[in-house]
A and B are shown apart, each in its own frame.
Chain A
């Protein structure tokens, strides 16, 4: 195609899948938060950034990438739970834009705090041993770490689906997404469910940040574009739908990957172009409303 060898195209698909996997992690978290709390989390990319930094610190301290990733998710979930509990909770029932403004403020202030603490220069997270470099498979160069991200994200998403569909807590989250008051009337402390849902959502963003860190380094402003791109993914997929976030993430991953191959400088524009085209056909996104959770 266009004189490009098919091996290169396949490699580009793999690159797109790996990037798409990061989008999937962020967007599914964003979607859960929006569905459950009706909060548009402008700080989502900030939690992704915090995930990358937490992974950097935990990896340097422990010497193990895996401990770093696990610690990053746990730490950011705790930060998320506290953010929801202490900062967002008092704002519910007030003017609906207050929570949005709060997350916006968080997204402005926290990266600056990180600049003050860690400086402007990126912190490098080493690739885990055994996943450095690439192997050749049927003439195609397959980067090991990217392949790992794809498989790992698939496993995480299957686990997330099983959690939402099979466990009691997952069932409560799905129910509260639709009718929080009724769930409360049935005896569930929904306030706690919101804190849990927010922590779960930003935990997924942190996982995205931790996994992405070896590829991009942790820098304070890394979350800014990521927030916008996650929103695009969620809008494409349909607000509040985890299935939609997955499909949307995979689409945007491929769009960025292939546009970069032909005209790198247009890859950002292409994301919005793709969103416009999809919304023209399906104004509520691919899985809008009918497919919520």
Chain B
């Protein structure tokens, strides 16, 4: 579905991604693992067109999307939930969600989407609709950003560290939501530091491990478990 071939991305003069190649298959959850600062978020930003790669090629469902601006990548059916969440603070929860629906133009029935998508996944947002986005708690903001991405009806969702800074109860809830998204047919590219959560989501999942801008290993959770000494070396933690 999504293929990265030898992409190299820079921030100014610093070379962040080195010949990164990976593939996301339709319907799976692909997890990117690695320590802080190894280029996981940069990989997502390169795909989204926020930090376009200097060389290499990114194809999504057969079309070349390398270097397209973010709004065009979004219109192809890819959505990004960034690490910093980025709820628009001066818009209400409802307006944040409307912003997510704009991409679908006239085809979308806003009320119906609210009822069938937003409230189904995130019943708690119902009471918050007219509150400003900036007034929500961290967990609620994370729910809102996932909901906002979801109402765009993406085929691929890229989620960057969704559980960062959340309390354990909410971490499990986010895990459940990701499972539900996959079950509903959304393909997921996940960056996550919580390895226990990230590797126990689904039968249909694989992981890549990054170090210093390179992809070092890949495989199913079972395969990684079998090679756990190598994995632990790259991640610096016990699996």
Contact = CB atoms under 8 A, between A and B. Distances in A.
Interface of A: 168, 171-172, 174-175, 177-179, 181-191, 292-293
Contacts of B70: 181, 184-185
Contact of B80 (A175, A179, A185, A191): A185
Contact of A178 (B89, B102, B148): B89
Contacts of B95: 171, 175
**Highest count of chain B CB atoms <10 Å: which of A171, A172, A185, A189:** A185
B99 interface: yes
Contacts of A191: 69
Nearest to B76: A187
30 contacts: A168-B98, A168-B102, A171-B95, A171-B98, A171-B99, A172-B99, A174-B88, A174-B90, A175-B90, A175-B91, A175-B95, A178-B90, A179-B86, A179-B88, A181-B50, A182-B86, A183-B99, A184-B70, A185-B74, A185-B82, A186-B102, A186-B103, A186-B148, A187-B71, A187-B75, A187-B103, A188-B71, A188-B102, A189-B69, A292-B90
Contacts, number: 67
B100 interface: yes
B65 interface: no
**Highest count of chain B CB atoms <10 Å: which of A178, A189, A293:** A178
Contact of B90 (A181, A186, A190, A293): A293
Interface string B53-95: 0000000000000000111001100011010001011110001
Given A171-B91, A175-B91, A293-B90, A184 B99 contact: no
Contacts of B80: 185
B48 interface: yes
A179 B84 CA distance: 12
B90 A172 contact: no
A189 B71 contact: yes
Contacts of B82: 182, 185
B20 interface: no
Given A168-B102, A186-B100, 14 more contacts: A172-B99, A174-B88, A175-B91, A178-B89, A178-B91, A183-B88, A185-B74, A186-B148, A186-B152, A187-B102, A188-B71, A188-B99, A188-B103, A293-B90
Contacts of A175: 88, 90-91, 95, 99
Nearest to B45: A185
A189 B75 CA distance: 10
Top 8 closest pairs, chain A to chain B, by CB: A187-B103, A187-B74, A182-B86, A175-B88, A184-B70, A185-B70, A184-B71, A189-B71
Contacts of A168: 98, 102
A210 to B, nearest CB: 31
A192 to B, nearest CB: 9
Contacts of B74: 184-187
A181 B103 CA distance: 15
A184 B80 CA distance: 11
Given A185-B80, A185-B82, A187-B71, A178 B88 contact: yes
**Highest count of chain B CB atoms <10 Å: which of A174, A177, A187:** A187
Nearest to A169: B102
Contact of B71 (A171, A174, A179, A190): A190
A188 B79 CA distance: 12
Contacts of A183: 88, 99
Nearest to B88: A175
A261 B148 CA distance: 56
Contacts of A189: 69, 71
B69 A186 contact: no
A178 B134 CA distance: 11
Contacts of A184: 69-71, 74
Contacts of A181: 50, 70
Contacts of A188: 71, 99, 102-103
A21 to B, nearest CB: 26
B78 to A, nearest CB: 10
Given A178-B88, A179-B86, A190-B71, A185 B102 contact: no
